Amino acid sequence: QVQLVESGGGLVQAGGSLRLSCAASGLSFSNYVMGWFRQAPGKEREFVVTIHRSGSRTAYADSVKGRFTISRDNAKNTVYLQMNSLTPEDTAVYYCAATSRVRWPPLSYDYWGQGTQVTVSS
């Protein structure tokens, strides 16, 4: 059974940093492109960033480029999201996602975690 479990969310002040983790199980992790999405209350889920299987290629949303960094550790079956210079606009539930589909960047994802709350105070 595939499972993605996010952790590391919390409440931080504007300008602060936070690192999210997503632990994957039940899949061959290195064969999956991983991504992070987020959803604020009353808003649609939006793309944040994705990372290639090898970790050599990434694609970021313009809203987070230069502030957020995705990385993965295939030996640990874990993908990370380092978030710096956080603003209240970053407040959302952050979701980890995985896809085995071949297109780069992916157009869709197969599996989703349950999310972790990130709240940035002003």
Give the residue among 83, 82, 89 at the shortest CA–CA distance from 122: 89
Which phi and psi (to 5°) does residue 80 adopt?
-120, 155
> What number of residues does the chain have?
122
Let me know: does 75 contact 6? Beta carbons within 8 Å: no
Q: Each residue's pLDDT tens digit in the chain (122 positions)? A: 999 999 999 999 999 999 999 999 999 999 999 999 999 999 999 999 999 999 999 999 999 999 999 999 999 999 999 999 999 999 999 999 999 998 999 999 999 999 999 999 99
Q: In whole angstroms, what is the distance from residue 91 CA to residue 87 CA?
A: 8
